[in-house]
Amino acid sequence: MNNVLISLEIMWKGMAGIFITILIIMLFVWLMGKFGSEK
């Protein structure tokens, strides 16, 4: 039971971590696109 609860915690933390990382990369790509189009 303990491992199941830990797995649930790993699930939400892991998915949140992946989405945050991907959003940071998206922000970077967007900024690069904006920077590039201004030149």
Partner 1 sequence: MSFLLDGLRALTWQQVVMYVVGIVLIWLAIKKDYEPSLLLPMGFGAILVNLPLSGVLDQTLQGGIQANGIIQWLFDIGINASEAMPILLFIGIGAMIDFGPLLSNPLMFLFGAGAQFGIFAAILLASVFGFSLSDAASIGIIGAADGPTSILVSQILHSKYIGAIAVAAYSYMALVPIVQPFAIKLVTTKKERRIHMDYNPSSVSKKMRIIFPVAVTIIVGFVAPQSVALVGFLMFGNLIRECGVLGTMSDTAQNTLSNLITLLLGITISFSMRADQFVTLDTLIIMLIGLFAFVMDTIGGVLLAKFMNLFLKKKINPMVGGAGISAFPMSSRVIQKMAMEEDPTNIILMHAAGANVSGQIASVIAGGMVINLVTQFLK
Residue numbers at the binding site for partner 1 (CB under 8 A) = 3-4, 6-11, 13-15, 17-22, 24-26, 28-30, 32-33, 36
Shortest reach from residue 34's CB to partner 1, in Å: 11
Shortest reach from residue 5's CB to partner 1, in Å: 9
C-alpha to C-alpha distance for 37 and 25, rounded to whole angstroms: 18
C-alpha to C-alpha distance for 13 and 21, rounded to whole angstroms: 12
Per the structure block, which two tokens stand in for 36?
């590039």
Shortest reach from residue 16's CB to partner 1, in Å: 9
Query: Residue written as tokens 């992946």?
Result: 18
